Copies of this chain bind each other. A is one copy, B any other.
């Protein structure tokens, strides 16, 4: 972790004069790994799997249930609700632009979209399948998946590896370019309001972009400690420190309270905020972040300016067709 922390503390500090040229607009395509090049067939299959509630024990929870691409790529809940109404301690991160993060999950324990996709399906409080063997038995029982996997990967291709590859390929298409900010970054100075420009400059000045750097404002998938500053009042109110972040995975004391830096793209759509969804509004989240990460107490108008800027990070959502999921003809899993 020490290397990562050094990179972050070096930060990205810029004078406001050079802001426009320094900002990056969001790429319209995401790179795919060498072992999973994106193809139309994989994307189509992945879209079906992503939306298929039969990947859960109860037939009620799909990936899209908590990462709803009809909304901001999450569920607008403090914590997600899995099978049998169970809830966990973390808030669903958005799937939009997740392709631009090096690591996935709040604690960053997955190093690829493929690795991430394998997790929730067999998590007992999320999708509740016993194991991936059970998932594969289901998929093999559905003729339409037999052919869709064959189209994407070749004959007899239904496997955990290919299912997660297809889901990841679909997720790499979930990109929201051309936000007002992107238009501004490309030189259209009218794309942001005066308030949004004030907010952008303030975000630079106080150091938000030290961590939330890069085109996706996610530090390119780095980790950061949260909270940095102990604030007894806020801690009592929001219980930020109950969750030890990366430490829960590694058990290393240096990883305590380290989390993946989340993207700020479409942040206006993904309330409530923080890893535990404990802060309900964007302006409050801005104030809390300034306080516990940067030791700054923002005025109402400063927080409103930054929130206005963050609203300019809401992008354009690609038009998608509603998938038709292949049937278990004449029978069902439940």
Q: Residue A281 at the B interface, CB < 8 A?
A: yes
For A84, list chain B residues within 8 Å (CB): 81, 85
User: A320 within 8 Å of B by Cβ?
Assistant: yes
Q: Is the CB of B83 within 8 A of A59?
A: no
Least Cβ distance of A154 to chain B in Å? 26
B77 contacts A330, C-beta separation under 8 Å? no
A328 to B269, CA, bound (A): 7
A53 touches B75 (CB 8 A): yes
Contact (Cβ within 8 A) B282 A311: no
Q: How far is the CB of A323 from chain B (nearest CB, A)?
A: 6
CA distance A317 to B81 in the complex (A): 30
Residue of B nearest to A85 (CB): B85
In the complex, the count of this chain's copies comes to: 2
Point out the residue from B78, B322, B332 that lies within 8 Å of A76, measured CB to CB: B332
| Residues 114-135 of chain A, each 1 if its beta carbon lies under 8 Å from chain B, else 0 | 0000000000000000000000
Chain B's closest residue to A68 (CB) is: B53
A329 at the A/B interface (Cβ < 8 Å)?
yes
Choose among A51, A76, A272, A281 the residue with the greatest number of B CB atoms under 10 Å from its CB.
A76
Choose from B65, B271, B323 the contact partner of A70 (Cβ within 8 Å).
B323
Kindly state whether residue A171 has any CB partner on chain B within 8 Å.
no
Given A53-B75, A321-B322, verify A334-B70 contact (CB < 8 Å).
no
- Flag A24-53 by CB within 8 Å of B: 1 or 0 each: 000000000000000000000000000111
4 A-B pairs with the lowest CB-CB distances in the bound complex, closest first: A85-B85, A282-B330, A84-B85, A271-B332
Can you show 9 pairs from A to B with CB atoms below 8 A apart? A53-B68, A60-B81, A69-B322, A71-B327, A77-B332, A78-B334, A271-B328, A280-B332, A311-B329
